[in-house]
C-alpha cells in the first residue's frame, strides 16, 4: 500500500513537471516571436490592429494606412539612428582634447550601449534586453 502511494505521488510530480515544462516552452516561444515581430513592418501593423480592434470592414480600410505609416516610421527611425550616431561622433571629437584615454573609452562604451539599445527596439532597456549586462566600467573598477 505504501509503495503504491509513493508511485502515484512520483507519477503526479513527473506529469506536473512535464506539463509545466511544455506550457512554459509554448509561452516563451510566443513571447520571443512577438518580440522579433515588433521591429518589422508586419509587427507594426499587427500591434496597431490589436490596439484598435477593428471589425472586418474597418480592417480592410485601415490596413493600407497602417502600411503607409509603417514605412514612414521605419524611415524616420532609421534617419534618427544615423543622425544620433553622427551627433555622438561629433561630440566625441570635440571632447577628445579635454579627456583622458580612460574617459574617452568610458564615453564610447556608454554611447555604444545606447546605440545598441536603440537598434534592439522597445523594451530593451537596462536589464531587459538580451546581452546587455551592466556597464563595463562598473566591473573594471569593482563597483556594483
Q: Give the pLDDT confidence of 77-103 residue by residue, as tens digits.
A: 889 889 999 999 999 999 999 999 999
User: Is the pLDDT confidence value at 105 over 90?
Assistant: yes
Asked whether 136 and 109 are in contact (CB, 8 A), the reply is yes
Task: Find, among 49, 43, 38, 41, the residue nearest to 68 by Cα.
Answer: 41
**Type and span of the H or E element at 40:** none
User: Is the pLDDT confidence value at 129 over 70?
Assistant: no
Residue range 19-78, pLDDT digits in tens: 998 888 888 877 776 665 666 778 888 888 889 999 999 999 999 999 999 888 888 888
**CA atoms 19, 23, 26, 29: torsion sign:** negative
User: Is the pLDDT confidence value at 113 over 80?
Assistant: yes
User: Is the pLDDT confidence value at 15 over 90?
Assistant: yes
Would you list the DSSP string of 26-93? HHHHHHHHHHHHHTSHHHHHHHHHHHH---HHHHHHHHHHHHHHHHHHHHHHHHHHHHHHHHHHHHHH
User: Is the pLDDT confidence value at 127 over 60?
Assistant: no
pLDDT at res. 55:
94
Q: CA–CA separation, 95 vs 101, rounded Å?
A: 11
pLDDT at res. 121:
58
- pTM of the predicted model as reported, rounded to 2 decimal places: 0.49
User: Is the pLDDT confidence value at 124 over 60?
Assistant: no
Question: What's the grid cell of residue 36?
Answer: 522579433
Amino acid at each position: 500500500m505504501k509503495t503504491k502511494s509513493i508511485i502515484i505521488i512520483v507519477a503526479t510530480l513527473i506529469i506536473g513537471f512535464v506539463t509545466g515544462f511544455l506550457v512554459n516552452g509554448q509561452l516563451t516561444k510566443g513571447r520571443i516571436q512577438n518580440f522579433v515581430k515588433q521591429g518589422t513592418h508586419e509587427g507594426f501593423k499587427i500591434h496597431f490592429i490589436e490596439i484598435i480592434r477593428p471589425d472586418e470592414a474597418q480592417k480592410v480600410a485601415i490596413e493600407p494606412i497602417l502600411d503607409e505609416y509603417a514605412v514612414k516610421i521605419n524611415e524616420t527611425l532609421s534617419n534618427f539612428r544615423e543622425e544620433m550616431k553622427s551627433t555622438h561622433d561629433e561630440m566625441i571629437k570635440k571632447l577628445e582634447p579635454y579627456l583622458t584615454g580612460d574617459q574617452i573609452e568610458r564615453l564610447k562604451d556608454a554611447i555604444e550601449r545606447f546605440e545598441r539599445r536603440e537598434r534592439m527596439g522597445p523594451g530593451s532597456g537596462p536589464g531587459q534586453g538580451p546581452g546587455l549586462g551592466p556597464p563595463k566600467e562598473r566591473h573594471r573598477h569593482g563597483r556594483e
